[in-house]
Structure formats: C-alpha cells, structure tokens
Structure 1
C-alpha cells in the first residue's frame, strides 16, 4: 500500500472536519428523538403539547398560545389551528418548542409513503451533545479507484427498502459505475444516482457492514467530463446515512445488487453509541 502525500492527507482532514461540523449543526440529524405518524383523529404526541392530525390532504396542529409552540417561518405563537400540506418525500421545519428561548425542539413535518409524520429534533439529545466526530478508518490511497460511468438513456426508478420498515423508497438510477477494487479480479457494476449538478452518488453494501461499519454507506464523486466516461471514486469519503446515528431516519437502502463482496475499510465506521 502506498503512502499518501501530506497534501492528500491535509485535503482529507479538511473533508472530515467539514463533515463533522455539518453533523454537529443544531437541529441536525444527530438531534432526532422521535418519528411519529399522525392519525386522522387529533391526538397528543410525545415530547410536545397540542393535538396533531393528518388526512390525505394536509396535517393540522391545534394548540393554545400558552402551550409555547411557535411557527418556524414567522415566530408567531400557535394559537388555534394551523395547517400544512406537503407532496410525498417533502419535509418542512414546522414549529419550535421548549427551552429558555422556546426553540430547543424543532418539529419537522414530513410526508413519506403518502402518510404524514412529525420528527422531533431536540438540541438536548445526548447523541448530539456527546458528539465528538465520526470514527473513521485510516486513509487508504489504494481505495481511491478509477472507474467508468455508463449512463442510462433515461433514469430508471428502482424500488428499494429504507431504514424504516413502514416506508418504501425509490432509487432513481441514472447509470452504472463500473469499477474494480484492489485485490479483485472482476469488475463491479453498481447503480448510481445523481447528487446535484455534476455529481454522482453510490449507496452500497460491503463486507464490513454491521461489524466495523453501519448497515450501508454512501460515497459521492464527480461525474465524468462531457464526452468521456472516466471517474475517480474515493472510498475514503464514504459516509454514513443519518439512520446510522438515529433510529428515526427513513434513509434509502442500497439497490439490491449494489453489494461489494470484500471489506471496504475506508471512510466512516459505525458511530460510537
């Protein structure tokens, strides 16, 4: 195994620092403390005052001003009944509650599989307050690999499972990453999705899962230049989905065929709990 240059290591450390800082944001993924499905009949929920409900068209919240709930968009107290509508897979930071400033808990409204749910994000969560960075493998220069991207004529929707058994997902496959890993004689063909403009994402299983790493991970890499197919995939930048940190995520699992049969000992390990 070759030794990485100081410049390469410094760039990787900057990536890790930015990644940990992103996770440590207030009301980020580390603060999730519940996922609660709303019912047609107004009902109480954990951690929050008020009565919450939803039907196919919208979610509603009924509360009095002295309950202490405030609308995230305006800061106005919830005094009466408020309503919000979302398309499937959309989310909305809806209201705040609690703490000395009234914003300790952020309440996210989400619609998944045609159903409305709320997720509470509590800045006092121990997962958040005790966070000291994600453990990682040592940098592996040999797991910066060259491959090629073979685009599909049109994106293909592939049904997948998610981290929540009650939520089905869809992987919008835009093409395949063809790549050979160190020590392997064969190439893998792995389905990838788009990740914004000019980027591709691979969600994958490998032989470290549920041992040194979480159940699955994701690595993002640059799409090939126009008219070419060559890509570079740096598995040292493989990261966990939020569901690795919290039981309340609805993160997408890999496409069934996205299995790397050897240990990919690079990138993020399973979080310490």
Structure 2
C-alpha cells in the first residue's frame, strides 16, 4: 500500500490527488457521451444464414457461414470505410474480426456495427438519439480516496495463456489472452489478479469484488494499469476502476471476469452501478 502523507503537505497532496481524479473522471464521462459511443446502442440483432430485414434498418442481412456477413442494400445505406464512405449497391460482404470493433455501415446519423463473436455475427445499432445517451446524467463513482491505491508487482507468464470466460449474453464465450499476474496488498491482505494486455498499452484487470451486485455492477469492473517498470512494479489505483459497457446498455456482449479474479474485499472505489434510463418505469 502506498504511504500516507502527514504534516503540512498532507492536505495539499490530498487535494491534488482528488483534483487529478476529478479531471480524469470528467474525461471519462465525456468519452461515454460521444455520439456513437456505448451509450448510443439501441439494438442487438444476432444473424444466421437466413436472409432477413430488420425494423428500421436498410436492406437485408445474413451470416454467410464462411466467415462473413452479406448486406444487400436497398439504396439508402453507405458503407463506412477507414478512408471515406461509398454508396452500397447490390450485395456487399463484410468481414468483422472476432472480439474487435465491428465493420460500420452508416444510415443517416446512425451507425450499424457488424460484429463477430467467436463464430456468431450480430448487428449492433448505434443511434445518437438513444435514451441511454440523451438522458445520461453521468457515471456515479465513489469519492476518490488514496487508501485504494496500492503498489503491485507484475509477474509475466512464460507464455501468454488463452482463457475461456463467459459473457453477459447467455451461451456466448470470450477467449481473452492473459499475460501474467499482478500481486498487491489491499486492506491488509495479499491479493492477485490475472492481467490482460490493455487496448492502448499497459495492463487490464477484470475482476469481481465484494461490492459486485451490491453497490457496483454485478458483471464485474475493469482497471487499466500503466506498463510495469523494469522491476515489474505497477501502481494499482482502484479509484480509476471502470464499468464495462454492459453496465450502461443491454446491447453489449461483455466478457465476465476470469473465475479466479474475485477479491474478497469490498473495493469501494471507482465507478458504481450506473442509472439506466432505458429501464426507468
């Protein structure tokens, strides 16, 4: 655990810590509220090899059975590429990558994301007018507290290990690759969590704790760590623990934490269970 500052500099140090966290949290809320972010999801349609139309979506869609999805356009869809958009005519083949952000099709202000999860495919509709976005009132969180900052040590595996974990969608599985274990002391006890590569570098910890399903989302939360130093040391700041997208929307396919990533302590830090305007009576 990090040491506590005492004396005349204690209050200024605590104030700086709280201010830094507030800036980080405001940035997080701004990112959540982007027009086509996770709060914009309005539908999740699973595909099979039967050609189907879906309410409010252009054209017809089907999974091909050989690693792709076919969209047969009816003239009002635009295929969104990395460089520019081009009108879709006839039938086009889309090839999303398992576990990665999907291929996007633009329809007016909406984006239809074609995703692959293992060998299944789905359409995820992103609409800036989704109530989960327009009624978003922020991501509730515990007050920042330095007691939830620990010094940890990363112990890499000799070889990365492919794990199998469940998902918030019944019957779906994810296969994340673990790269090692982070060990740390929290609330006077030794803990360890399996670590995954972070999407933008560093490490990612996906875990349950004693608050899960109570004051925090039951499907677990995640925490990004910076890269370990040369001696494997990492700072584990639970104040920056995040909800996964599935805490905010019913249309995400989030993985569950690995079975062993369950802390017995109640980590009253980071994001709490968010309000869901789509579930309001």
Instruction: Calculate the TM-score normalised by the size of structure 2.
Output: 0.88
1:80 aligned residue: 90
1:51 corresponds to which residue?
A: 60
From 226, 249, 263, the counterpart of 1:222? 226
How many Å separate the matches in 2 of 1:269 and 1:197?
Answer: 24
Retained in 2: the 8 A contact 1:171–1:255?
no
- Partner residue in 1 for 2:77: 69
Structure 2 residue matching 1:35: 3-state secondary structure: strand
CA distance in 2, matches of 1:249, 1:167: 12
* Number of the residue aligned with 1:118: 123
CA contact (8 A) 2:94 2:103 kept: no
- Post-superposition offset of 1:197: 6.2
2:104 matched to which residue of 1? 94
4-13 or 199-208: bigger deviation = 4-13
Task: Report the counterpart of residue 231 of structure 1 in structure 2.
Answer: 234
Aligned to 1:17: 26
Shift of 1:56: 2.4
Q: Which of residues 213, 216, 241 in structure 1 aligns to 2:216?
A: 213
Preserved contact between residue 58 and residue 74 of structure 2 (Cα < 8 Å): no
Instruction: Return the alpha-carbon distance in structure 2 between the equivalents of residues 243 and 13 of structure 1.
Output: 23
Gaps of 5+ in 1: none
Shift of 1:80: 1.9
Does the aligned pair in 2 maintain the 1:56–1:115 contact within 8 Å?
Answer: no
Residue 252 of structure 1 aligns with which residue?
255
Partner SS state of residue 86, structure 2: coil
- Structure 2 vs 1, CA of residues 92 and 196 (structure 1 numbering), >3 Å: closer, same or farther? closer
User: Structure 1 CA distance, aligned partners of 2:196 and 2:44?
Assistant: 26
Residue 176 (str. 1) matches residue 176 (str. 2) = no
User: How far does residue 91 in structure 1 lie from its aligned partner after superposition?
Assistant: 3.4
- Is contact 2:95–2:103 with CA below 8 Å preserved after alignment? no
Task: Say what the alpha-carbon RMSD is for the aligned residues.
Answer: 1.7
Moved more, 203-212 or 54-63: 54-63
Shift of 1:89: 2.3
1:141 pairs, out of 138, 141, 146, with 146
- Partners of 2:161 and 2:179 within 8 A in 1: yes
TM-score, scaled to structure 1: 0.91
